[in-house]
Amino acid sequence: QQQVKQSPQSLIVQKGGISIINCAYENTAFDYFPWYQQFPGKGPALLIAIRPDVSEKKEGRFTISFNKSAKQFSLHIMDSQPGDSATYFCAASMNTNAGKSTFGDGTTLTVKP
C-alpha cells in the first residue's frame, strides 16, 4: 500500500514560470514532510521540509503548502530556472524515526529556457 502519492510524474515548465508538485499521504501519524531534489547521477538532497503545525514554509523560490485536513502538501517553485531541472521527491515520516521516510515516486521537472 503506497502511503505517499505524488503527482505529476513529469512536468515541463517555461523559464520564469511556476512549478507545482503535489503529494497526498494516508498515515495521519506522519508529522515531518520533506522534499528532496535529485540530479542525475547524484543522491537526493534535502530541499525544504515542513511540520504540520504550520500551513506554509518558504525558502527563497521554494514554498511548501500544507493542508492537514486534506492530508496533502505541495511544492511550489517560483521563477523556475533551467538549473531547477531535476527529479523531486516528497516524503513523509514520523517523529519517532524521522529518518525512516516513505517517499513518493518522484516528479521529473524540466524547465525550458
Partner 1 sequence: DSGVTQTPKHLITATGQRVTLRCSPRSGDLSVYWYQQSLDQGLQFLIQYYNGEERAKGNILERFSAQQFPDLHSELNLSSLELGDSALYFCASSAWQGLVTGELFFGEGSRLTVL
Q: Residue numbers of the site for partner 1 (CB under 8 A)?
A: 32, 34, 36, 41-46, 49, 89, 91, 93-106
Distance of closest approach, residue 98 Cβ to partner 1, in angstroms: 2
Kindly calculate the radius of gyration of the chain based on its CA atoms and give it in whole angstroms.
Answer: 13
What is the number of other CB atoms lying within 10 angstroms of the CB of residue 42?
10
Nearer to partner 1, 28 or 100 (CB): 100
Shortest approach of partner 1 to residue 92 CB, angstroms?
10
Mention every residue, 6+ apart, whose C-beta is less than 8 A from residue 111.
12, 13, 14, 15, 17, 19, 80, 81, 82, 83, 84, 85
Q: How near is the Cβ of 113 to partner 1 at its closest, in Å? A: 27
